[in-house]
Structure 1
Amino acid sequence: MAMFLCFCFLLPFFLIFLKNLKPSKWKLPPGPKKLPIIGNLHQLHELPPRSLSHNYGPVMLLRFGFVTVVVISSKETAEEVLKNHDIDCCSRPKTEGTRKISYNFKDIGFAPYGEEWKMMRKLSVVELFSSKKFHSFRYIREEENDLLVKKLSEAASKQSLVSLKKTLHTLVGSIVCRIAFGLNLHDCEFIDEDSIMDLVHKSELLEMTSMFSDFFPRGMGRLMDWISGQNKRLDHVFSELDTFFQNILNDHLKPVRRDAERSDIIDVMIDMMEQEKDGDSFKFTTDHLKGMISDIFIAGVSTSAFTLIWAMTELIRNPRVMRKVKDEIRTTLGDKKERITEEDLNKLHYFKLMVKEIFRLHPAAPLLLPRETMSHIKIQGYDIPQKTQILINAYAIARDPSVWKNPDEFDPDRFLDSSVDYKGVNFELLPFGSGRRICPGMAMGITLVELGLLNLLYFFDWGLPENGEAERNMKDKDSALDLVQVICH
């Protein structure tokens, strides 16, 4: 009996191994050599940088266990995928980590392409990201930045060090939670502002976690997940996030809250769910509500905070650029403003080029969220079969030496005479993606970054602590700074 079970367990591995020995009927992209059974899983850690694409070109084939993956690493191939074949490549693969964080793919970011996804995205655009809604939230963005300035001024008066990571996660988390959930983190009963960075970190762990069941047949993979304890670890990481999201939902379900004047996107979804009738083609569930909460919180906070941290890091590392940006700000806005408004952003030019360079050098998602082909396509003459995962290596594209001069240098001047933008039309710069799956909150994210940076640079000067740790980090181009010295201007 034991031998029979062992045979049944190993048979799929042998079948896939024999299948890979047969010559393919298609012209597949090149890629590194694969090991039996696991394919290129041993090279998974090499994906975000440019090392593999340098060796195998802009269309590279990898196999992770039983899963076929194609990595796209040039602006030309990215345009083919995101523009020419957008409709064929706009679904998402399903992994256990994203299943958890999306509540069984009932969200926008990780849901497969279809009518349900269209409904959720349309709702988010109308109720959260429309021009009217965007402008109505301006006072929240400005109030939270005013509070940031007040707190940093107190730290400067005490000559205490400031954690950039914690401070900027709190800023963005406070804005996102007020706008999307009507939740004030400064006096919330079930979460405090100091916990935001930890929750974001847990969400990133879920997104990046790879399970055996992601790469091998489901029954076999789940058994290996259970034996290895990966399921238990995944559930443990997810539990705190789920508690937070459930508390937000419970807060919206309180009768005292049901006020049309302060309704947000979650209130709208609850109202729609309560008004649904038998026979409706689409019905909201609790998973849809929590999936939307998860998307807004994770995508809204992590990406903008990441970009702000890297912007301050690069400016402190590059005094020439810092001086040039601050000179423009002080010359244009004067020295006596009591508060910064979003109108001030439209008066600055070099400042916006600096932000564009940050998006290029440090995309929040070095690999855009994976896509999955819904039909057979050709990219650069190579066959890409149906159900192939496609990874757009935005990091490699934004540092391609054939497109960018001195691509690893932080140099906003490169955009002085350039029309290249980051809004999904120019495929050499894709921090927000492109096509049907472009980030719906792009305008909100850009403003969060620009307004936060402008407040940090207008009211304060920045320096490194004297203990030498930051100087050591400065030598590592891949390390973002954390502790800094803040000085009132």
Structure 2
Amino acid sequence: MSISLFCLFLITFVSLIFVGKKIKRSKWNLPPSPPKFPVIGNLHQLGELPHRSFQRLAERTGHVMLLQLGFVPVTVISSREAAEEVLRTHDLDCCSRPKLLSTRLISRGFKDISFVQYGEEWKERRKFLVRELFGLKKVRSFGYIREEECNFLVKKLSESAVDQSLVDLRKPLVWLTASILCRVAFGQSFQESEFIDKEKVNQIVFEAEAAEASFTFSNFFPFAGLGWLVDWISGQHKRLKDVLFKLDVLFQHVIDDHLKPGRSKDSKDVVDLMLDVMHKQGKDDDDSLKLTIDHIKALLTNIFIAGIDTGAITMTWAMTELVRNPEVMKKVQGEIRERLGNNKERITEEDINKVSFLNLVIKETFRLHPAAPLLLPRETMAHVKVQGYDIPPKRRILINAWAIGRDPKYWTNPEEFNPDRFIDSPVDYRGQHFELLPFGSGRRICPGISMGIATVELGLLNLLYFFDWRAPDGMTHKDIDTEEAGTLTVVKKVPLNLVPVRVQ
């Protein structure tokens, strides 16, 4: 109660500063805004699921909409045409990131690639990670790891199938993506690691994402340090620090393990390569990439959080929709088993190209359930015009990819899960078609798109080839819901509990 009263006092105090001031009418043609309250603006309209709240507001206000979140103006984009102007036409002027307290802490002072502002440092870090981890050639070279970890997943699920026990499917899918990531990026076996607790990895990822997307007073009321003071009193600053500490302990273990004397260097992972860059700084002519231990930890945070969660979220939503739509499930499993035969003991990545309908299922899952429905926030570096509206420099922009994916202007029966809509359709999810933007587009498109897609394709192929899936006793497919939870990423609120039935 005392904290609430203190916050109320601060808001009232600051609001009095602005009362009576005459605000000059802007000559700019700013986007329309919904009605707002003094001081807090439209903050009260965010709700627990901002992407849904923004969609409802945009339907009444416009697909280019100006919200006042506290003292911070934010432009929300909810149409394909406007998204294309931001992400393609004005990409260079709209590709920076806002400086927020939460992202500053998690990124160790913006030493990563996800939240750092646009510039040469971002370019060098991204170039390095694409070359050494996310490039298509590298992703293909990790194919055997994905195959081995998917095979392990099938074995574990087969054990549950013996006694027909319920499986919370998200849990083994998080383990799958974490297993692949740890081997590819950290050179560690997730199953055998001494310092990665597989029972807690999902919790760590969830806490980190919640921290990145959390409400911090200073993000919306950035005045005179009072915002930071409120965050400190409310405990928000401590929660952010606690998450940072857990990640720091994990990554310090990873780094220490790579620095052990006598460790084999025959096959270098991305941690080895980053440490090599750090140790060679000042010794080579090419000093463009600057790395410290903090840089390495910040980049590992990006890899760890995005690499584990988004793939597991997508596979969980795909299985949710397939179980809810038995005809689609029958169609995709029928194609898979017909094309691959009935006697395969192990799925390989070459099998993916034989099952085209699976790709349509994945596209439709991305359309209905993008893992990050608002993508990551952008910030303008220059004045731009979008759909005729002025957007000044230093303005935050949010792209509501979730709303665009459900817009009836672009999609027939948009709430229906129907992969057939993509038959003979050129629309893809790699950032060139702005009605489908699960990974974003432009310079700040997710660099891990190839690795993420490869994991999702092979993971789903294994789940659908080796198992049939049924709802728990007393439930039917009609009882499987799609209620959401989350902010930065959106997960299925109620666990997807299914019974696996081994078919071979």
Please tell me the TM-score bracket, short chain as reference: over 0.9
Give the match for residue 34 of structure 1: 36
d(CA) in 2 for partners of 1:20, 1:400: 39
Match status 1:488 vs 2:494: no
Q: Secondary structure at the match of 2:225?
A: helix
Q: Superposed, which structure 2 residues align to 1:381-460 within 5 Å? A: 381-460=388-467
User: Which residue type is aligned with residue 309 of structure 2?
Assistant: S
Give the match for residue 195 of structure 2: 190
Give the match for residue 3 of structure 1: none
Q: 1:277 to 1:266 in 2, by over 3 A?
A: same
Match status 1:152 vs 2:166: no
Give the match for residue 246 of structure 2: 240
RMSD value, Cα: 2.1
C-alpha contact (below 8 Å) 2:324/2:478 kept by paired residues: no
C-alpha contact (below 8 Å) 2:64/2:75 kept by paired residues: yes
Give the match for residue 489 of structure 2: none
User: Which residue type is aligned with residue 179 of structure 2?
Assistant: S
Q: Superposed, which structure 2 residues align to 1:353-392 within 5 Å? A: 353-392=360-399
C-alpha contact (below 8 Å) 2:132/2:270 kept by paired residues: yes
Give the match for residue 226 of structure 1: 232
More displaced stretch, 103-112 vs 479-488: 479-488
C-alpha contact (below 8 Å) 1:59/1:70 kept by paired residues: yes
Q: 1:381 to 1:334 in 2, by over 3 A?
A: same
Match status 1:23 vs 2:25: yes
User: Which residue type is aligned with residue 210 of structure 1?
Assistant: F
Q: Secondary structure at the match of 1:474?
A: coil
Residue by residue over 1:170-191, the C-alpha shift from the partner in whole angstroms, topping out at 9 and shown as x without a partner, is 0011001110111111111112
Give the match for residue 315 of structure 2: 308
Q: Superposed, which structure 2 residues align to 1:50-449 within 5 Å? A: 50-216=55-221, 217=223, 219-257=225-263, 259=265, 261-277=266-282, 280=287, 282-449=289-456
Q: Secondary structure at the match of 1:386?
A: coil
- In structure 2, runs of 5+ residues without a counterpart are 1-7, 485-491
Q: Secondary structure at the match of 1:316?
A: helix
Shift in Å, 1:218? 5.2
C-alpha contact (below 8 Å) 2:317/2:365 kept by paired residues: yes
Residue by residue over 1:236-289, the C-alpha shift from the partner in whole angstroms, topping out at 9 and shown as x without a partner, is 233222221222222222223251x22111211111111111894553111110
Q: 1:475 to 1:28 in 2, by over 3 A?
A: closer
User: Which residue type is aligned with residue 142 of structure 2?
Assistant: F
Percent identity between matched residues is 56
Q: 1:17 to 1:410 in 2, by over 3 A?
A: farther
More displaced stretch, 264-273 vs 465-474: 465-474
Q: 1:7 to 1:357 in 2, by over 3 A?
A: closer
User: Which residue type is aligned with residue 89 of structure 2?
Assistant: N
C-alpha contact (below 8 Å) 1:164/1:482 kept by paired residues: yes
Q: Secondary structure at the match of 2:95?
A: coil
Q: Secondary structure at the match of 2:191?
A: helix
User: Which residue type is aligned with residue 278 of structure 2?
Assistant: M
More displaced stretch, 318-327 vs 234-243: 234-243
Residue by residue over 1:204-231, the C-alpha shift from the partner in whole angstroms, topping out at 9 and shown as x without a partner, is 2112112111112251111111222221
C-alpha contact (below 8 Å) 1:174/1:193 kept by paired residues: no
More displaced stretch, 468-477 vs 362-371: 468-477
Shift in Å, 1:355? 0.9
Give the match for residue 50 of structure 2: 47
C-alpha contact (below 8 Å) 1:17/1:37 kept by paired residues: no
More displaced stretch, 296-305 vs 193-202: 193-202
Q: Secondary structure at the match of 1:295?
A: helix
Q: 1:227 to 1:119 in 2, by over 3 A?
A: same
Q: When the two structures are superposed, what TM-score results if normalisation uses the length of structure 1?
A: 0.94
Residues paired across the two proteins, number: 483
Shift in Å, 1:471? 6.1
- In structure 1, runs of 5+ residues without a counterpart are 1-5
Give the match for residue 5 of structure 2: none
User: Which residue type is aligned with residue 375 of structure 1?
Assistant: A
C-alpha contact (below 8 Å) 2:323/2:477 kept by paired residues: no
d(CA) in 2 for partners of 1:19, 1:291: 43
Q: When the two structures are superposed, what TM-score results if normalisation uses the length of structure 2?
A: 0.92
More displaced stretch, 183-192 vs 84-93: 183-192
C-alpha contact (below 8 Å) 1:398/1:429 kept by paired residues: yes
Segments of 4+ moved more than 6 angstroms: 6-11
More displaced stretch, 127-136 vs 478-487: 478-487
C-alpha contact (below 8 Å) 1:72/1:392 kept by paired residues: yes
C-alpha contact (below 8 Å) 2:430/2:437 kept by paired residues: yes
